[in-house]
Amino acid sequence: MLTLVPVLALLMGGSLWAGYQLGMDASLPQAATDNTTEVVRNLLQAQRDELQEAKGRTQEHLDALALRLGQLQSHILRIDALGEHLAKIGKLDEGEFNFDEEPARGGIEALEAAQSVSVSELVADMEQLSLVITDREHKLDLMEGLMRNNLLNEELVPAGRPVEKGWISSRYGYRNDPFSGKKAFHHGVDVAGKKNSNVVAVASGIVTWTGTKSGYGNLIEVRHSGGYVTRYGHNGKILVAPGDLVTQGQPIALMGSTGRSTGPHVHFEIARNGKTINPSKYLSAKR
């Protein structure tokens, strides 16, 4: 009987140890599951953070591209406006140089070889386009300056007739004087027309003299660049005063028959460096 007590005690202790061990072994899968879930949760959060950061970087790139695109569009609008202005100055065909229409382009469709453009390629293309636009702006500015200077020089040199409507009634050089019948040198040309019709400046310049002069009647004298002076005589009414700046084609007087004259006309003279010259080639020049 006494020998059974130690045996029973041993059996009971073994049972308790086995139960404890079984309990410990049963709790291991739950801890491992919790640990795995935590790892996955951390990985997902890291991916969310990385994705959010990537979205932020992408938005920054898109904002920068949008800003750059806006700058390029502004430059292109300026080039279009400058191009339209130059087309008008150069009197070019508006249909051929229509800056409101996209240039005509085309080509066969090749889907097999088509490739999407990467962001880096797009940025590189935009920067190259920026260089081209800057270069074109500079050249167009130079062209505009040259064209303006050429136009200004053209306006300062006598060209065209001193009337809006009329005909040449007496030429430059020797002729029979209409009053004496004797041969005399005529220092200008006479352009006849309707009384009170406009007499116009043949070039831009400054009025240096107006008034009555023997033989000329009511006379206007205009000084131009290059040593040119133009004179307009026999006017019925003078519309300008000394010191006035007149432009090419501007009315400066009304046609009359004042002074030594047989009827309504303008006596027109051109002098250069103090000497009268034949106005014929200037009369036929286009404004």
pLDDT for 42-88, tens place per residue?
Answer: 777 777 777 777 777 777 777 777 777 777 777 777 777 777 767 67
Q: What is the pLDDT of residue 7?
A: 40
Q: Is residue 113 part of a domain?
A: no
Phi, psi of 118 (to 5 degrees): -80, 165
Say how many Å lie between the first and final Cα of the chain, rounded. 146
Q: Are residues 59 and 37 in the same domain?
A: yes
Q: Phi, psi (5° rounding) for residue 4?
A: -75, -25
Helix (H, G, I), strand (E, B), or coil: what is residue 268? strand
Report residue 3's pLDDT band, with 50, 70 and 90 as the boundaries. Answer: very low
Please check whether residue 248 is in contact with residue 204, taking contact to mean a CB–CB distance below 8 angstroms.
yes
129 and 183, same domain (yes or no): no
| Pair 33, 140 in one domain | yes
The pTM score is 0.52
Crossing angle between the packed helical segments 119-156 and 4-89, to the nearest 10 degrees: 20
What average pLDDT does range 20-42 have in this prediction?
61
Residues in the chain: 287
Instruction: Answer yes or no: is 110 within a domain.
Output: no
Domain identity same for 151 and 190: no
106 in a domain, yes or no? no
Q: In this predicted structure, what is the pLDDT of residue 251? A: 97
Please report, for the domain that includes residue 266, its CATH number: 2.70.70.10
Identify whether the C-beta of residue 287 lies closer than 8 Å to the C-beta of residue 248.
yes
Position 77 in a domain: yes
pLDDT band at 243 (very low <50, low <70, confident <90, very high): very high
Same domain, 171 and 152: no
The better pLDDT of the pair 245, 57 is held by 245
**pLDDT bracket for residue 108 (50, 70, 90):** low
217's CB contacts (< 8 A; 6+ apart) are: 233, 234, 235, 256, 257, 258, 259, 260, 261
Same domain, 139 and 259: no
Going by C-alpha positions, the residue among 191, 190, 272 that lies closest to residue 224 is 272
**Structurally, how many domains does the chain consist of?**
2
Distances (CA, A) of 286 to 45, 202, 262, 281, 282: 81, 10, 29, 10, 8
Predicted confidence at residue 1, as pLDDT, reads 45
List Cβ neighbours of 236 (8 Å cut-off, separation of 6 or more).
Answer: 195, 196, 218, 253, 254, 255, 256, 257, 258, 264
Matching residue, tokens 């291991």 = 28
At 219 the pLDDT is 97
Lowest mean pLDDT among 3-7, 56-60, 98-102, 188-192: 3-7
Choose one of 156, 182, 203: the last residue of a domain.
Answer: 156
Q: Is residue 145 domain-shared with residue 6, that is, in the same domain? A: yes
* pLDDT value at residue 101: 62
Range of the structural domain that residue 71 is part of = 1-100+119-156
Are residue 279 and residue 152 in the same domain, yes or no? no
Looking at the domain assignment, is residue 152 inside a domain? yes
Note the pLDDT of residue 34: 64
Q: Six-digit token pair at 151?
A: 């136009």
